[in-house]
Amino acid sequence: MIEPVAPDLARQLNGFGPEMIAAISEGAAETDSGAELQRRLGRRALVAYAERLAAHHGHELAAADLRELEPVAEDNGASLDTAPGRQRAFGEVASFLRGRFSWAEDPDAEAECRGVALQESGLDAFGQPALPAAPSETPAALPTSDDPRRGDGPAAADTKERYLDSEIVAIYW
């Protein structure tokens, strides 16, 4: 249908088949490394949570404590991407610490330490790898009407244009 109008375009579209299959195959390999990243960041978050929660209650974790926590962090590191997984993983760490240091349950402190530990380890609040931080050139506050960064004043023509890096995704039958 396209060939009579744009023969070059038709050839390019027909060539997408093998390339698309290769890209999908490579994507599967990247998923495996994504799972490894999730597990590593999750493990880091659980250890950071333990350290923060202990510090909140005036304790410092010794090397022996961290060795005992290691299996809990290893077993639960990859499960932080679901709500039940996060609840179980952080609950096991908090339970271990309460047993070790004999302090009462403190849901507010646990929630605060959990959020900070996730953020520090590179995960968002849902246990997913967080997006990289914005570049330092991004203004911290909203620009004012006379600010050249705003983009609607006369200085807007002088500023560099910014483009969003994106991928085109298509379904091939």
Alpha-carbon gap, residue 58 to 67, rounded angstroms: 20
Strand partners of residue 123: 129
| Percentage with pLDDT > 70 across the chain | 58
Q: Is residue 117 part of a domain?
A: yes
Q: Is residue 143 part of a domain?
A: no
pLDDT per residue as tens digits for the range 41-55: 999 999 999 999 999
Residues belonging to the chain: 173
Q: Is residue 136 part of a domain?
A: no
Range of the domain at 51: 7-130
Q: What is the DSSP letter of 161?
A: P
As for how many domains the chain has, the answer is 1
SS3 state of residue 129: strand
- Both tokens of 116, joined, read 């900070």
What is the average pLDDT across 69-82?
90
pLDDT per residue as tens digits for the range 155-165: 444 445 555 55
Q: How far, in Å, are 47, 157, 158 from residue 120 at the CA level?
A: 11, 39, 37
Q: Is residue 148 part of a domain?
A: no
Q: Is residue 11 part of a domain?
A: yes
Alpha-carbon gap, residue 53 to 56, rounded angstroms: 5
Q: Is residue 94 part of a domain?
A: yes
Q: Is residue 14 part of a domain?
A: yes
Q: Is residue 88 part of a domain?
A: yes
pTM exceeds cut of 0.95 = no
